[in-house]
């Protein structure tokens, strides 16, 4: 089924956390499953950095990014729940972002798109649900960047949901993770085609974006998974200045493939929104913000996550405990590291089921 679109903030403007505003915001979304007569089976899915509004589809060529986790009888059970997922503000998969036309100029925003935050993304999601007359959610679930959105939902609208599930995401990006994002952003902004983000009429900063994705991939996986997949195997007709080892060939392939589905300006926007995420924004401190949470909150850490490190998840756990919220904290170990929330269904399924108030493991 094709995705759906709604234009929001037509009569008013969305005031952004960091200043500035946006109007006529188009949101791309998709729904799955059936709404029950009581309208109490709705789950909002918040996607990660490069995700989109379609976690669940299979057209024979492409699959949704949570295809392994959703479906009849799966942990995200389409026979039981009604799911809604939208592309984030600032993205490039149908929702307003830097590629969109600025109504004031008639040209793409490009580098003029105002910096958005997780708080702004969540406000747009809430506006979408208001427009769809959804007044309560059974749950909000997300991994990585999506986990930050799920957390912010619980803070901003504490009476709006019963359960929140945050997979592989801490309450703050670490200095190291911000450092990775910085190097990735620098690869893009230093690309000779970047042109301060106004490249849509010319050549795209492809090399910069591909390089960013390559580095990103290394943080999403683990030493063990890369060793098992590639070890030190050499590519046939390898090039010492380029792809010599298979792992290099894999990364180059992933970088190039990424160009088909992502925009460099959105990458800059969304990685910065990750760095900037702070649950304390709008409150006296993080504790005051977290104390607002009423939903049962599940946090799942991957012990060998290279991006959201265990030590940071543990710090988040402590802060959530201090706030006195109803918390379920779990750890799993997966060769896939950070990307485990996209791949390792068998590890995550029981945690998700329990996080949704279903039977214990």
Ligand X SMILES: CC(=O)SCCNC(=O)CCNC(=O)[C@H](O)C(C)(C)COP(=O)(O)OP(=O)(O)OC[C@H]1O[C@@H](n2cnc3c(N)ncnc32)[C@H](O)[C@@H]1OP(=O)(O)O
Ligand Y SMILES: N[C@@H](CCO)C(=O)O
Does residue number 355 form part of the binding site for ligand Y (CB under 6 A)? no
Report d(CA 191, CA 88) in Å as an integer. 25
C-alpha neighbours within 13 Å on the C-beta side of residue 160 = 24
Which single residue brings its beta carbon nearest to ligand Y?
Answer: 144
Q: Which residue has the tokens 């997300």?
A: 142
Closer CB to ligand Y, 77 or 344, in the complex: 344
CB of 48 to ligand X, least distance (A): 4
Closer CB to ligand X, 125 or 194, in the complex: 125
Per the residue annotation, which of 100, 127, 144, 266 is the catalytic one? Answer: 144
Report d(CA 231, CA 247) in Å as an integer. 8
- The site for ligand Y, by CB under 6 A, has a size of 9
Closer CB to ligand X, 44 or 289, in the complex: 44
x/- letters, 44..73, toward ligand Y (CB under 6 A) = ----xxxx----------------------
Report d(CA 3, CA 30) in Å as an integer. 5
Region 143-162 residues binding ligand Y, contact defined as CB under 6 A: 144-145
Report d(CA 179, CA 219) in Å as an integer. 12
x/- letters, 128..147, toward ligand X (CB under 6 A) = ---------------x----
Known active-site residue 305: yes
Q: Using CA of residue 120, residue 121, residue 122, residue 126, what is the dihedral sign?
A: positive
Region 224-253 residues binding ligand X, contact defined as CB under 6 A: 246, 249-250, 253
Does residue number 270 form part of the binding site for ligand Y (CB under 6 A)? no
Does residue number 346 form part of the binding site for ligand X (CB under 6 A)? no
User: Which DSSP string do the residues of 271-298 spell out, in sequence order?
Assistant: HHHHHH--TTTTSSSHHHHHHT--SEEE
CB of 351 to ligand X, least distance (A): 16
Report d(CA 43, CA 85) in Å as an integer. 9
Report d(CA 295, CA 287) in Å as an integer. 16
Does residue number 86 form part of the binding site for ligand X (CB under 6 A)? no
Report d(CA 210, CA 347) in Å as an integer. 31
Closer CB to ligand Y, 187 or 323, in the complex: 187
Known active-site residue 338: yes
Per the residue annotation, which of 249, 334, 338, 344 is the catalytic one? Answer: 338
Decide if 96 contacts 89 (C-beta within 8 A): yes
Q: Applying CB under 6 A, which residues contact ligand Y?
A: 48-51, 144-145, 220, 339, 342
Catalytic residue IDs:
144, 305, 338
């Amino acid at each position: 089924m094709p995705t759906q679109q709604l234009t929001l903030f037509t009569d008013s403007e969305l005031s952004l956390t960091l200043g500035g505003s946006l109007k006529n915001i188009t949101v791309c979304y998709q729904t799955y499953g059936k709404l029950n007569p009581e309208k109490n089976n709705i789950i909002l899915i918040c996607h990660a950095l490069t995700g989109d509004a379609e976690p669940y589809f299979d057209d024979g060529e492409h699959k949704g990014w949570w295809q392994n986790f959703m479906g009849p009888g799966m942990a995200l059970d389409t026979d039981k729940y009604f799911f809604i997922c939208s592309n984030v503000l600032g993205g490039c998969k149908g929702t307003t972002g830097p590629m969109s036309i600025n109504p004031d100029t008639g040209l793409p925003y490009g580098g003029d798109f105002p910096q958005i935050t997780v708080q702004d993304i969540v406000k747009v999601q809430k506006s979408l649900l208001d427009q769809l007359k959804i007044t309560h959610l059974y749950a909000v679930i997300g991994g990585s960047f999506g986990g930050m959105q799920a957390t912010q939902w619980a803070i901003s609208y504490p009476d709006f949901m019963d359960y929140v599930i945050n997979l592989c995401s801490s309450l703050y990006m670490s200095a190291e993770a911000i450092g990775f994002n910085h190097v990735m952003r620098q690869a893009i902004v230093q690309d000779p085609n970047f042109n301060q983000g106004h490249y849509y009429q010319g050549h795209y900063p492809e090399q910069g974006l591909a390089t960013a994705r390559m580095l990103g991939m290394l943080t999403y996986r683990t030493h063990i998974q890369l060793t098992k997949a590639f070890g030190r195997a050499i590519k046939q007709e390898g090039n010492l200045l380029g792809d010599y080892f298979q792992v290099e060939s894999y990364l180059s392939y992933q970088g190039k493939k990424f160009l088909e589905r992502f925009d460099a300006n959105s990458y800059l926007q969304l990685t910065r929104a990750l760095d900037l995420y702070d649950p304390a924004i709008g409150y006296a401190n993080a504790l005051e913000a977290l104390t607002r949470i009423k939903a049962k909150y599940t946090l799942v850490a991957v012990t060998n996550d290279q991006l959201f490190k265990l030590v940071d998840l543990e710090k988040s756990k402590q802060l959530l405990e201090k706030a006195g919220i109803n918390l379920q904290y779990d750890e799993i170990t997966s060769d896939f590291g950070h990307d485990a929330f996209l791949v390792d269904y068998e590890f995550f399924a029981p945690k998700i089921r329990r996080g949704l108030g279903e039977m214990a493991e």
